[in-house]
Amino acid sequence: MCGIIGYVGYQNTVPVLIKGLERLEYRGYDSAGIACVDQKKGGLCLIKEKGKLGVLKEKLGDFTIEAHIGIGHTRWATHGEPSRANAHPHVDATGKIALVHNGIIENYAAIKSALQKKKVRFLSQTDTEVGVNLIGSYYRKSHKLFDAVKRAVVELHGFFAFVLFSKDDPDTLIAYKRSNPLVIGLGRGENFVASDVTALLPYTRQVIYLEDEDLAVITAKEISIYSLKTRSWIKRQATTVHWDVAQAQKQGFPHFMLKEMYEQPEVLKSILSKRIQKNGEIFFDTLDRKFLKRLRKIKRVSMISCGTAYHAGLVGSIAVEQYPRLPCNTQVSSEFRYGNPILDSKDLVVLITQSGETADTLAALREAKAKGAATLAVVNVVGSTIAREADAVIYTYAGPEIGVASTKAYMAQLATLLLLAFYMARGRKTIQAVELRALLREFKKMPEHCAKVLKEIKRFERCAQKHYTRRNFLYLGRGCNYPTALEGALKLKEISYAHAHGYAAGEMKHGPIALIDHEQPVICIAPDSLTYDKMISNIQEIRARDGIVIAIGTEGRKDLEKMSDDFFAIPKVPEILSPLLTVIPLQFLAYKIAVLNGRDVDQPRNLAKSVTVE
Ligand code: AGP
């Protein structure tokens, strides 16, 4: 997710671009840049820097630019690590066209090699630079930017939004939308375009939301929109925005955490579209031949991480033992790093981390490397320290996660680790092709199931209202939902400050059952599974002691619903995929209880988004 802004009008464009980027920085912050046509010096001016927007602002202090058209970008890296070369805007090889981009061009590699055969030189590793050079190749023939974009986007696969201009026509911005958001701001003698309304609010509340396949031509006085869907010029209705900036950054949600919970179906959809190819094979673009060769010799796996990422590692570990049939050890990084682990070159150590900067996990990585193990980072932040130091990396593509309590990044870790296990099983031939195809068919339905659960989640609000004043909660699960119990308990602890404990349900009789009385809520994660009947027995033991049963189960399980004080149903899915759904009601329950207790949900006390100290 990146931040895009474009301006054309009577004002000097640089301050407008910077102010817009300041409001878009929450969408990505590893590098930033602007491009404009300098009225005095003439020509295209391009200034971009690695790091947060402040670094760019400092650099701009050295320039006096008089410009009335320009584009700006704040980046969340997906292709190519954070650097000045990879920062946007990108310019085509002729130096005439500047472009900013939000999204992913999936077939960039093939287009890049075709352009390189035509002697086009590339300065970055980004898919964006491929996009602007494809447009440039058509522009050189027609000298009409609108026509060049119209031809190029037909060849590009993926989801993206572009804003661009040519120095040959310094009065016109072109904007194109496919799946990723773009909104036009209407001014007097000026017009704007941005990723979302946040950047427009200082100047206008009159906006036009572009729709997929809209190609807009924007001047200071006029907006014309062409639809590639209907192949005709169309009219889009302007609307008035009533949000303030904070609301706009959360796209109308009260908290980033809730917004990110609702982004989970899109995150899953994006991961599956990148990782499962048209021929049904699983594909990790960042694993090179050398690492894959090493992967084939692995005899043992370790999943090492902290907090929520540790819970994802527990699910990943179950999948690695169940599918590629490799022994898999899972540990928290802080224990692993001091445990003098027994490792050699036949070991694969997987470091799971949203931020890629967690101190304990970084130390664990270095310990594993020192012992000769193959190290694989499963990371959300592109170019982060752990991503760069591991032997190989798989990015989880969850986009920036602003809420301290991890939700969509956890979902992305689960999906990525499950796909990795299935991929390894395919390579080791421990799964039949027909079985894998069936499993991936079910996997592809998960975004829709996830969206359905979120659509119905408000039904769980009543449960939060009944119990938000309680100070002790117990979470129980079995198999791949024992980690879900741990994750649900962590979510509640870290944002509501209530005490919550996740336990393997089979451990009830070995202690926790002493907690059960009429005051004790017990969240039981009991989807259809091999151990479903055992979960039912545990729930009966809780009922027999007047415990309060809050159950997450599979649709249609009337027996379970009857024995629960509160019941939330999820669609029927293969057991190994169920953690992708069972966690959602637990995220929501924690969120609601925290809000009812007036907590600072996005920045809970004592916590940080990335724990870069021991
Ligand atoms: C999750 O909600 C917590 N904020 C925390 O446990 C987090 O998962 C942990 O600190 C690990 O962070 P990382 O994934 O960035 O390494």
* β-pair partners for 34: 47, 72
Outline where 307-460 has alpha helix (H). Answer: 307-322, 333-336, 359-370, 385-389, 408-427, 433-443, 446-456
379 lines ligand 1 (CB under 6 A): no
355 lines ligand 1 (CB under 6 A): yes
- Which conformational region is residue 374 in: left (phi greater than 0), alpha (psi within -120 to 50 degrees), or beta? beta
- What is the best residue among 331, 354, 490, 587 to mutate for testing ligand 1's pocket, by most ligand atoms within 8 Å of CB? 354
- Positions of CATH 3.40.50.10490 in the chain: 256-444, 453-596
The CA distance from 580 to 88, in Å, is 34
421 lines ligand 1 (CB under 6 A): no
Residues of the chain with pLDDT under 70: none
What is the Å distance from ligand 1's center to 344 Cα? 28
Q: 3.30.420.40, 3.40.50.10490, 2.40.50.100, 1.20.272.10: which CATH number matches 453-596?
A: 3.40.50.10490
- Positions of CATH 3.60.20.10 in the chain: 3-245
- Please determine, looking at this structure, whether the domain spanning 256-444 carries the CATH number 3.40.50.10490: yes
384 lines ligand 1 (CB under 6 A): no
204 lines ligand 1 (CB under 6 A): no
The CA distance from 563 to 584, in Å, is 21
pLDDT on residue 490:
98
What is the Å distance from ligand 1's center to 401 Cα? 11
Supply the residue whose CA is at minimum distance from atom 6 of ligand 1: 307
pLDDT on residue 269:
95
pLDDT on residue 81:
87
Contacts of 224 (CB under 8 A, 6+ apart): 216, 217, 233
pLDDT on residue 564:
98
What is the Å distance from ligand 1's center to 28 Cα? 19
CA-atom Rg of the chain in angstroms? 26
Atom of ligand 1 lying closest to residue 386 CA: 16
What is the C-alpha end-to-end distance of the chain, expressed in Å? 30
308 lines ligand 1 (CB under 6 A): yes
Specify the DSSP class assigned to residue 196.
S
Q: Kindly list the catalytic residues.
A: 2, 609
Angle between the N-to-C axes of helices 433-443 and 408-427, in degrees from 0 to 180, rounded to the nearest 10: 170
Q: What is the pLDDT of residues 221-247, one digit of tens each?
A: 999 999 999 999 999 999 999 888 887
Are 436 and 279 in contact by the 8 Å Cβ rule? The answer is no
Q: Which residue has the tokens 């201009």?
A: 165
Are 315 and 363 in contact by the 8 Å Cβ rule? The answer is no
Supply the residue whose CA is at minimum distance from atom 3 of ligand 1: 405
CATH architecture, range 3-245: 4-Layer Sandwich (3.60)
Among 171, 178, 186, which residue's Cα sits nearest to residue 152? Answer: 178
- Give the 3-state secondary structure of 227-265: ECCCCEEECCCCEECCCCHHHHHCCCCCCHHHHHHHCHH
pLDDT on residue 41:
84
Strands (E), 10-92: 31-38, 44-50, 67-75, 90-91
* β-pair partners for 97: 166
